[in-house]
Amino acid sequence: MTGFVSLSTAMARGFFRDRTALFFTILFPLMFLVLFGGLFKDAGASKTDILQIGAVPVVDQLPAEAAAGLDQVLSVTRTADRAAALDEVRRGDKAAAIEQVGGELIVHYSAADAVKSATVRGIVESLVQQSNLAAAGVTTPAVTMRSQPVEDQSLKAIQYMTPGLLGWAIATGATFGAALTLVTWRQKKILRRLRLSPVPVASIIGARVSVSIAIAAAQCAMFIGVALLPYFGLKLSDQWWAFIPVMIAGTLAFLSIGLVAGAASKTPEAASAIANLITLPMAFLSGAFFPLDGAPKWLQQVSEFFPLKHLVSSMQDVMVRGESFAVTLPDIGILLGFTVVLAAVAAFLFRWDDA
Amino acid sequence: MQDMSPTIKVEELRKSYGEPRAVDGVSFDVQTGEFFGILGPNGAGKTTTLEMMEGLRKPDSGTVTLFGESPWPRNPRLLPRIGVQLQASAFFERLTAREQIRTFASLYGVPARKADEWLAVVGLEDMAGKRNEDLSGGQQQRLSIACALAHGPDLVFLDEPTSGLDPQARRNLWDVLRDISAQGRTVVLTTHYLDEAESLCDRVAIMDHGRILQSGPPATLVRDLDAPTRISVETGTITAEAARGLADGLEVSDDGVSLTIATRTPAPVLSALAERDALRGLSVRGATLEDVFLHLTGREYRA
Ligand SMILES: Nc1ncnc2c1ncn2[C@@H]1O[C@H](COP(=O)(O)OP(=O)(O)OP(=O)(O)O)[C@@H](O)[C@H]1O
Ligand SMILES: [Mg+2]
């Protein structure tokens, strides 16, 4: 037991004193989150910002229900300064500016962002029609428009990216950590020195497992902390903490991948190359960086064979899609299955010594 | 543990990594409390022999028994009783000297306080806060020895423990090792320093090409060699011609610094030199283990 504790401490100290490892395990993935979180801040089911110049009766006099519906798709800012408003549209800060001159509703838009201006024009047109119908005395229109956000199916970028990039970070951290510890400890003769001490092999492996889980927990705390900042605006589901078991199962699966990579290589360079070769393509093909919804069917099927796919999708389910812990159980089972098989391979390839 | 069976029993050990064999039929016993040295030129097979005894390598054939048990495969009953300093030091990365020895000590259930004492024993208390990457070669070597001894093993294996140590540290380590031996522990070491072996070891084995050429107490080996005594004086004190005439059967050589006379009967030669007042820079050297080594291996030893 003391062996387990002191080996874990030695391993953790070695890790936290290694600037390069710290950077690539914690800061580097976090930089991706900050970068993409900032870039795609407005992507996904976000609202379109428009300006309203002066009074626009068509909008102002909307019935409460319709106004609420409009609110879900448009964010309207009122202003009196016409010139400044048009300037903002020209610069692309706002999608459009609307003003009403007598019976005429004018939509100022820039052709630069065709999608957004088309959205605004469509919405305004439906407003105009509605008010025309009202003016004609038709109080119950045959067809009404209702807009509903589709948050549940297509997530806002940050909602999607936080679990995705976090899953990738955990996978990389666990794989590299295990692979490099194994190789450098063998190369620096620490393993053969440990072999001469009465410490059980289980304590050595247990130490690596506990350090990897601690590192994964630190990654989670940093990722969620940053994504929750108002600037990025992550919204967690009620039972978000239910991702913890699948996170641990994922760490174990990638740790055993790392052990295989470490057992199979003689130098740290070879071990990193193998670890990269495994984790990087897997990240792209598992939906860690971008959704696979639009990907070809065969790719989606192939991705089922990657542990990262199971880690990421389960984390998304409970962290942001509001699913319960129960939905992660199959993925946990699959990840633990990967762990058992790969750990057996690693045990088979394991060598205390180079010679 | 004062039983009759030896602490270490090695029989007909063989190991090859290819041709020629690294260890080729080595047998010896080491008694409890004995200080045993293995000497031999580079590549003689010392480390390989030691590693098979420690249970790090599987012999191709032959047996090793420590305390009546086999060290191979990894034998958890033996491990707490043996302490090993490997020829290539092994340290955890980026840990300080103190963290290093505390970690190793805790693997044997030894408390931190006791581990710290060992840092002082090898004179590293001032270096305790330094990471092993920042220690000098000799300091690392001392730390490695402390790590091997901290749990008070009954049997200690040291592979060239004093290589890279300054003369002061070397003497200090000798004292430490004599202490350990005086406590009744068994010590096996390899060394290239023949003075070290002569001064520390109860018994030595001289190896070359994977075989033991001769073994026994250093004094016995030296006596059995029956080598001549070497008498040297400063060059120019006496001519080589005159020196040869001092007695019968003298071997005289002059390297330009000293003139050396080799003889099996030094007393008459010395008095003859004294008569001629030719004693400037006199030194008299009897045979040492080095002569035995040289005689057996035919090679200059390289420290
Ligand atoms: N891991 C290895 N792989 C292949 N050959 C080896 C290995 N280790 C040692 N040898 C060879 O075995 C022989 C004996 O080596 P060993 O290390 O036992 O010598 P040694 O007596 O300890 O030498 P030194 O004084 O240099 O430490 C040498 O010829 C060496 O080249
Ligand atoms: Mg050696």
Pocket of ligand 1 (CB under 6 A): A 355; B 17, 22, 40, 42-48, 87
- Within a domain: residue B29? yes
SS3 A104: strand
Distance of alpha carbon A115 from alpha carbon A229, whole angstroms: 28
SS3 A237: coil
Last residue of a domain, one of B217, B243, B258: B217
Q: From A203, which residue of chain B is nearest by alpha-carbon distance?
A: B107
- A67: enclosing H helix or E strand: helix A64-73
Q: Are residues B152 and B256 in the same domain?
A: no
pLDDT per residue over B85-105, tens digit each? 998 889 999 999 999 999 999
For the segment B137-141, the average pLDDT, to the nearest whole number, is 92
Strands B186-191 and B155-159, sheet pairing: parallel
Which chain A positions have a beta carbon within 8 Å of B56's beta carbon? Answer: 192, 195-196, 353
Distance of alpha carbon B174 from alpha carbon B161, whole angstroms: 10
Share of chain A above pLDDT 70, in %: 90
| Nearest C-alpha neighbor of A130 from the set A143, A118, A119 | A143
**What's the gap between Cα A154 and its chain centre?**
13
pLDDT per residue over A41-89, tens digit each? 766 555 678 888 888 887 787 777 777 767 767 788 888 888 888 888 8
Q: State the count of interchain CB pairs (< 8 A) between A and B.
A: 67
Residues of B172-182 as b/e, b for ≥16 C-beta within 10 angstroms?
bbeebbeebbe
The DSSP output letter for A46 is P
For the segment B277-287, the average pLDDT, to the nearest whole number, is 86
SS3 A99: strand
- Within a domain: residue B212? yes
Query: Where residue B3 falls among pLDDT bands split at 50, 70, 90?
Result: low
pLDDT, residue A42, reads 64
pLDDT, residue A152, reads 42
Residue by residue, what is the 3-state secondary structure of chain B?
CCCCCCCEEEEEEEECCCCCCCEEEEEEEECCCCEEEEECCCCCCHHHHHHHHHCCCCCCEEEEEECCECCCCCCCCCHHHEEEECCCCCCCCCCEHHHHHHHHHHHCCCCHHHHHHHHHHCCCHHHCCCEHHHCCHHHHHHHHHHHHHCCCCCEEEEECCCCCCCHHHHHHHHHHHHHHHHCCCEEEEEECCHHHHHHHCCEEEEEECCEEEEEECHHHHHHHHCCCEEEEEECCCCCHHHHHCCCCCCEEEECCCEEEEEECCHHHHHHHHHHCCCCCCCEEECCCHHHHHHHHHCCCCCC
Query: Ligand 2 mean position to B87 CA, how many Å?
Result: 6
**What's the gap between Cα A280 and its chain centre?**
16
Share of chain B above pLDDT 70, in %: 97
Distance of alpha carbon B144 from alpha carbon B88, whole angstroms: 9
Q: Are residues B169 and B65 in the same domain?
A: yes
For the segment B57-69, the average pLDDT, to the nearest whole number, is 95
At A288, list the tokens: 């860690």
Q: Are residues B47 and B170 in the same domain?
A: yes
Q: Are residues B91 and B191 in the same domain?
A: yes
Distance of alpha carbon A169 from alpha carbon A352, whole angstroms: 29
Query: Where residue A291 falls among pLDDT bands split at 50, 70, 90?
Result: confident
Q: Measured over all CA atoms, what is the biggest interatomic distance in chain B, rounded to whole angstroms? A: 70
Q: Nearest 5°: CA angle at B258, between B256 and B260?
A: 120
pLDDT per residue over A316-341, tens digit each? 999 988 888 999 999 999 999 999 99
Distance of alpha carbon A167 from alpha carbon A177, whole angstroms: 15
Residue A139 has pLDDT above 70, yes or no: no
Q: Are residues B117 and B243 in the same domain?
A: no
For the segment A224-242, the average pLDDT, to the nearest whole number, is 90
Last residue of a domain, one of B188, B217, B246: B217
Q: From A7, which residue of chain B is nearest by alpha-carbon distance?
A: B103
Q: Are residues B137 and B282 in the same domain?
A: no
Q: Are residues B202 and B269 in the same domain?
A: no
For the segment A190-208, the average pLDDT, to the nearest whole number, is 93
- Provide the domain limits for residue B92: 8-217
pLDDT, residue A93, reads 79
Q: Which of A2-11, A154-163, B111-120, B214-223 has the lowest mean pLDDT?
A: A154-163
pLDDT, residue A115, reads 65
Q: Are residues B93 and B181 in the same domain?
A: yes
pLDDT, residue A55, reads 85
Whether residues A13 and B94 touch (CB distance < 8 A) is answered with yes
DSSP lists the bridge partners of residue B206 as B39, B214
Whether residues B91 and A188 touch (CB distance < 8 A) is answered with yes
- Within a domain: residue B112? yes
The DSSP output letter for A326 is G
Best of B14, B15, B24, B46 for a ligand 1 pocket test (most atoms within 8 Å of beta carbon):
B46
For the segment B105-114, the average pLDDT, to the nearest whole number, is 94
Residues in A lying within 8 Å of B, measured between beta carbons: 2-3, 5-7, 9-10, 13-14, 17-18, 184, 188-190, 192-200, 353, 355
B108 touching chain A per CB within 8 A: yes
Residue B303 has pLDDT above 60, yes or no: no
Which chain A positions have a beta carbon within 8 Å of B76's beta carbon? Answer: 198, 200
Question: Closest to B109 (Cβ–Cβ): which among A2, A9, A13?
Answer: A2
Range(s) within chain A of domains with CATH label 3.40.190:
48-135
Q: Which of A173-187, A190-204, A231-245, B278-292 has the lowest mean pLDDT?
A: B278-292
Question: Which residues have CB under 8 Å from A322's CB, separation 6+?
Answer: A152, A237, A238, A239
Q: What are phi and psi of A185, to 5 degrees?
A: -65, -30
Angle in degrees, 0-180, between the axes of helices B112-121 and B137-149, rounded to the nearest 10: 130
- Within a domain: residue B232? yes
Query: Ligand 1 mean position to A312 CA, how many Å?
Result: 50
DSSP lists the bridge partners of residue B24 as B14
- Within a domain: residue B302? no
State the nearest Cα–Cα gap between A335 and chain B, in angstroms. 31
**What's the gap between Cα B222 and its chain centre?**
16
Strands A48-53 and A96-101, sheet pairing: parallel
Query: Where residue A149 falls among pLDDT bands split at 50, 70, 90?
Result: very low
For residue B260, the domain's CATH number is 3.30.70
Query: Ligand 1 mean position to B164 CA, how many Å?
Result: 19
At B129, list the tokens: 């806060």
CB A175 within 8 A of CB A255: yes
CB A197 within 8 A of CB B81: no
Distance of alpha carbon A222 from alpha carbon A303, whole angstroms: 27
CB A62 within 8 A of CB A36: no
Q: Which of A207-221, B134-148, B243-257 has the lowest mean pLDDT?
A: B243-257
DSSP lists the bridge partners of residue B234 as B258
Distance of alpha carbon B136 from alpha carbon B155, whole angstroms: 28
Residue A151 has pLDDT above 50, yes or no: no
For residue B120, the domain's CATH number is 3.40.50.300
Q: Are residues B66 and B161 in the same domain?
A: yes
Residue A2 has pLDDT above 80, yes or no: no
SS3 A230: coil
Q: Are residues B195 and B257 in the same domain?
A: no
B199 touching chain A per CB within 8 A: no
For the segment B259-266, the average pLDDT, to the nearest whole number, is 88
* Cis peptide preceding B73, ω within 30 of 0: yes
State the nearest Cα–Cα gap between B92 and chain A, in angstroms. 7
ipTM of the complex: 0.85
B95 touching chain A per CB within 8 A: yes
For the segment B259-282, the average pLDDT, to the nearest whole number, is 88
Q: Are residues B129 and B188 in the same domain?
A: yes
Atom in ligand 1 nearest the alpha carbon of residue B207 = 21
Distance of alpha carbon B256 from alpha carbon A75, whole angstroms: 103
Number of domains in chain B: 2
SS3 A80: coil
B55 touching chain A per CB within 8 A: yes
Whether residues B90 and A6 touch (CB distance < 8 A) is answered with no
- Within a domain: residue B150? yes
Which chain B positions have a beta carbon within 8 Å of A5's beta carbon? Answer: 106
The pTM of this model reads 0.78
Distance of alpha carbon A95 from alpha carbon A115, whole angstroms: 9
pLDDT per residue over A99-115, tens digit each? 888 878 888 887 766 66
- CATH fold label, A48-135: D-Maltodextrin-Binding Protein; domain 2 (3.40.190)
Q: Which of B65-69, B75-79, B133-137, B266-270 has the lowest mean pLDDT?
A: B266-270
Residue A195 has pLDDT above 70, yes or no: yes
Q: Are residues B156 and B265 in the same domain?
A: no
Whether residues A198 and B99 touch (CB distance < 8 A) is answered with no
Best of B47, B191, B213 for a ligand 1 pocket test (most atoms within 8 Å of beta carbon):
B47
Q: Which of A12-26, A267-281, B29-43, B235-249 has the lowest mean pLDDT?
A: B235-249
Distance of alpha carbon A187 from alpha carbon B143, whole angstroms: 19
For the segment B162-190, the average pLDDT, to the nearest whole number, is 93
- A105: enclosing H helix or E strand: strand A104-109
| Nearest C-alpha neighbor of A237 from the set A149, A322, A326 | A322
Q: Measured over all CA atoms, what is the biggest interatomic distance in chain A, rounded to whole angstroms? A: 94
Residues of A121-158 as b/e, b for ≥16 C-beta within 10 angstroms?
eebbebbeebbeeeeeeeeeeeeeeeeeeeeeeebbbb
Mean pLDDT of chain B: 90
Residue A209 has pLDDT above 90, yes or no: yes
For the segment B245-249, the average pLDDT, to the nearest whole number, is 83
